[in-house]
Amino acid sequence: MTRSERKRILFVCTHNSARSQMAEGWVNFLYCDRYEAFSAGTAPSRVDPRAIQIMAEVGINLSQHRSKNLDEFQGMKFDYVVTVCDRAKGVCPSFPGGKVILHQSFDDPAPSTGAESLSDFRRIRDEIKKWLEGMFG
């Protein structure tokens, strides 16, 4: 399959700091032969360093990623637009360039602190992977 034949997926969450970044990373790592993934936020902030760290543990490099505003993708076409948090779904229930709109909410690991912080990020990373395997694998 050529690059232009791959299906395009846009993952959306509120801050584009962890969940949507992890989903983008997983798809581009696991399924780059069939899909091209992107991510954006309804109120972007920065990529959480803990998301970068726990994705590096599984061989996925997010260190060059940046948080992007959903507006950057206006006018673009996507085969799938996936909201990965309830707040994003409320703000962005549809996307004009999306053929199929999906929603799968994952807990936000960002508020966790202390010893459980990385464990929470790992749990969400693994939940996202499992869902992606069932949906796109």
What's the chain's Rg over C-alpha atoms? 14
> Is 13 among the residues known to form the active site?
yes
Q: Tell me the mean pLDDT per 10 residues along the chain, length 137.
A: 83 94 98 96 94 97 96 93 79 73 92 88 98 95
> Which is the catalytic residue, given 9, 10, 12, 13?
13
Round to whole Å and give the CA distance between 53 and 39.
18
Round to whole Å and give the CA distance between 67 and 48.
9
> Is 92 among the residues known to form the active site?
yes
> Which is the catalytic residue, given 12, 54, 60, 85?
85
> Is 32 among the residues known to form the active site?
no
Q: Give me the domains of the chain, ranges plus CATH numbers.
A: 3-136 (3.40.50.2300)
How high is the pLDDT of residue 98? 82
> Which is the catalytic residue, given 40, 47, 92, 110?
92
How high is the pLDDT of residue 94? 63
